[in-house]
Structure 1
């Protein structure tokens, strides 16, 4: 047993191992609105069931972890461990700000995914593939297995110890943050980083380019897309995203209804030659 796991009480180590094993289901049920949200919630259930006896508190915690979550799989358990430590603190403190939990989650998804993608997809996968290909060229039928082992062993090790590391860091520093009054600054900073990440995702994933042009004498006199870009680059995707957010938050419109409406709108705009 490593020093990292020895520092954690036995009962909590058992719960963290359950989080680790459940984390393999992170993306088993993916939706556009939640990505790995349901898998994250399922992974957190052992801790939530242990920490909260009040059904309402348990319901609130489960709902909290059904929010959007997307991170490189080997790095995800670090966030789960840190989140578990924050849930523990929340169960013991009446003045705990629960919004800080999702704020920290959102702020960590982007940076950790950037590191994880670079290491696992950019380095380890390439090295593992290179070794496996060279072995396969010699006719060794074990080449695919070697590739899987070289890629997955480091991923699983980091996943396992990342769970305990996230929990240890959370338990160690959250109490200090509360004592020093810095928790509000952390929550605010995490919220800002999370919003930046959401804004970046919106600009990359929501696309709209109109093909509408007004011509006179065979010459284009007005390109609608260029005019929109001069006003604000990405104004339509941003407006559509904010409209969906408004409808979900204030009008309680179902995400499924919005998805269907956007699909129908996209088909109509394409059929009419507008976009």
Structure 2
């Protein structure tokens, strides 16, 4: 490339095409390049290739710019769109001659954001938003209706596409200043509110879809007359539990599952196996009636 073809620093601006390529590269490949050395670092570097190609003219400049993105990077993939947008803005500023923006500064921003955004994204998206959508989809799926899965597929893809596009665009426009919006006090308050909402939704979902009853009875001896018929005196455990707290067995199951997953760190497949063993033994011993109990 001749000197006459090189652009001045002031002429180096990102095009919409380059930004769109970077957006879709991260959208489709944020996890595909995952490895244990740099985690999402390879995917992040790949998402920055369109940015670097659009800003720099020589192969040496492009190579040096991509060296910036070798270190480890790992965050919740949807919230990661904000970091990609912010980094694109910083890279553009560096290419235009801003001496305050250095490779170390860019990596410092990436490192400082990936942790808080990972925690926020994990609690808001799989921890809150997904259960809300699933609870609605389960309700629509009653009777085998196809509306439930269709609703989830469409609602998830449309809303998340709009959400990540907003994060990417806002991150690019505000640059490093957008970090205050993402990890500031207001953002933390929103996160805590959404976590509380998610807990309420999960609790309501458990109370609606988990029903456990027991057929266990205790023979008290003797008989009594009911509607002109003589019946044995028996204590029905389920009636007693309903008098204390309706749905008590379902609540205990949910709390037990939480204890196994959160406190003992047992894997979900093993928890399911434990529940299967409990159900089998419960039916075998007469504590559960297969015709009356659903899981």
Please indicate the TM-score interval, normalised by the length of the shorter structure. Answer: 0.5 to 0.7
- What's the CA shift for 1:14? 2.5
Figure out how many residues of one structure are paired with residues of the other and give that number: 166
Maintained 8 Å contact 1:83/1:105: yes
Maintained 8 Å contact 2:89/2:172: yes
Q: Distance in 1 between matches of 2:107 and 2:41?
A: 12
- What's the CA shift for 1:75? 1.1
- What's the CA shift for 1:94? 6.5
Unmatched segments (≥5 aa) in structure 2:
1-11, 181-295
Superimposed CA distance per residue, residues 93-139 of structure 1 (whole angstroms, 9 cap, x where no aligned partner): 26342200011001101111222112111211001110111122221
Maintained 8 Å contact 1:16/1:163: no
Q: 2:161: which partner in 1?
A: 156
Q: Does 1:73 align with 2:91?
A: no
Q: Distance in 1 between matches of 2:167 and 2:33?
A: 23
Of 43, 51, 65, 1:47 maps to 51
Q: 1:243: which partner in 2?
A: none
Maintained 8 Å contact 1:81/1:164: yes
RMSD, aligned CA: 2.4
Give the TM-score of the pair, scaled to structure 2. 0.52
- What's the CA shift for 1:10? 9.6
Q: 1:139: which partner in 2?
A: 144
Q: Per the alignment, in what secondary structure is the counterpart of residue 74 of structure 1?
A: coil
Q: Distance in 2 between matches of 1:62 and 1:145?
A: 41
Q: Distance in 2 between matches of 1:138 and 1:51?
A: 56
Of 128, 133, 138, 1:128 maps to 133
- What's the CA shift for 1:62? 1.5
Q: Which moved more, 1:80-89 or 1:12-21?
A: 12-21
Q: Per the alignment, in what secondary structure is the counterpart of residue 73 of structure 1?
A: coil
Q: Per the alignment, in what secondary structure is the counterpart of residue 152 of structure 2?
A: helix
Give the TM-score of the pair, scaled to structure 1. 0.55
Q: 2:17: which partner in 1?
A: 14
Q: Distance in 1 between matches of 2:112 and 2:57?
A: 29
Q: Does 1:170 align with 2:170?
A: no
Maintained 8 Å contact 2:14/2:51: no
Q: Distance in 1 between matches of 2:68 and 2:33?
A: 17
Of 80, 86, 92, 1:82 maps to 86
Maintained 8 Å contact 2:14/2:55: no
Q: Does 1:64 align with 2:47?
A: no
Superimposed CA distance per residue, residues 21-70 of structure 1 (whole angstroms, 9 cap, x where no aligned partner): 11121111211111111111111111100111232221122222232121
Q: Distance in 2 between matches of 1:10 and 1:100?
A: 20
Q: Distance in 1 between matches of 2:158 and 2:122?
A: 16
Larger helix percent: 1
Maintained 8 Å contact 1:70/1:109: yes
Maintained 8 Å contact 1:75/1:158: no
Maintained 8 Å contact 1:124/1:151: no
